[in-house]
Amino acid sequence: MTNADPACPFCARRQTVYLESPRWQLLRHADPVPLAGWMMLASRAHRGGVDEMDASEQREVGVVLAAIADAVRAETGAERTYSITFNEAVRHLHLHVIPRHASDASTTSWALADRYRATMRGELGAASSEDAERIAHAVALRCLPALAPLGFVVP
C-alpha cells in the first residue's frame, strides 16, 4: 500500500475486510446500512477516482467489480445491482455495489438516494448488522474463486 495515512479510515482498517488483494479491499457499507448486501470495493491506495489509477488498476477494476456484483445479486436475490462511486468522504476509490430489488421500489434509481438519506437520519430502519455481516461473508466466499487469480484472499 502506498501513502498510507493512519487518520484515514480505510488505511487504518476500521471496518471488517472480507477479502483483500494487494490493490483492493472488499468491505460492506458501515452501519447503519440501508440494505443488507450493500458492499464496497475499495482501492488500498489513495485514488480519488478511476482517472487517478494506473492503466493496470483500471483494467482490473471492471473484472473485480463484475465478480462482486454477480455475487451480490446471487446472495441477495436482487434482480440487478447498482455500482456508484463518489470518493468524497474517503479518498480511496470505493465502488458501492448495491442490490436493486424488483419488489422494492425504494431501491430503484434515485429513490435509493432518498432511502439512503432517510436511513442515515433514522427515519427509516436500517438492515440488521447480523444480516449485513452474514450476506457480506457469503458474497466474499461466492466471488473468491473468480478473484483468487488476482491475488484476493480472506484476511
17: nearest Cα among 2, 28, 7: 28
**Helix ranges, the chain (H):** 55-76, 111-120, 129-147
- Percent of the chain that is helix, strand, coil (3-state, to 5): 40, 15, 45
| 48 or 151: CB nearest Zn ion | 48
Minimum CB separation from Zn ion for residue 152, in Å? 19
Minimum CB separation from Zn ion for residue 27, in Å? 13
Count residues binding Zn ion (CB under 5 A): 4
Interface segment toward Zn ion; rule CB under 5 A; list 8-16, 28-36, 73-81, 124-132: 8-16
Q: Determine, following the binding rule CB under 5 A, whether residue 8 of this chain makes contact with Zn ion.
A: yes
Q: Compute the radius of gyration of the chain from its Cα atoms.
A: 15
- Which of 1, 2, 6, 10 touches Zn ion by CB under 5 A? 10
48: nearest Cα among 6, 94, 8, 106: 94
Interface segment toward Zn ion; rule CB under 5 A; list 2-10, 57-65, 113-121, 146-154: 2-10
| 22 or 125: CB nearest Zn ion | 22
- Calpha distance 72→81 (Å, rounded): 7
Looking at residue 64, the DSSP 8-state letter turns out to be H
| 27 or 71: CB nearest Zn ion | 27
Q: Determine, following the binding rule CB under 5 A, whether residue 24 of this chain makes contact with Zn ion.
A: no
- Which of 1, 2, 11, 116 touches Zn ion by CB under 5 A? 11
- Calpha distance 31→145 (Å, rounded): 28
Residues in the site for Zn ion, rule: CB under 5 A?
Answer: 5, 8, 10-11
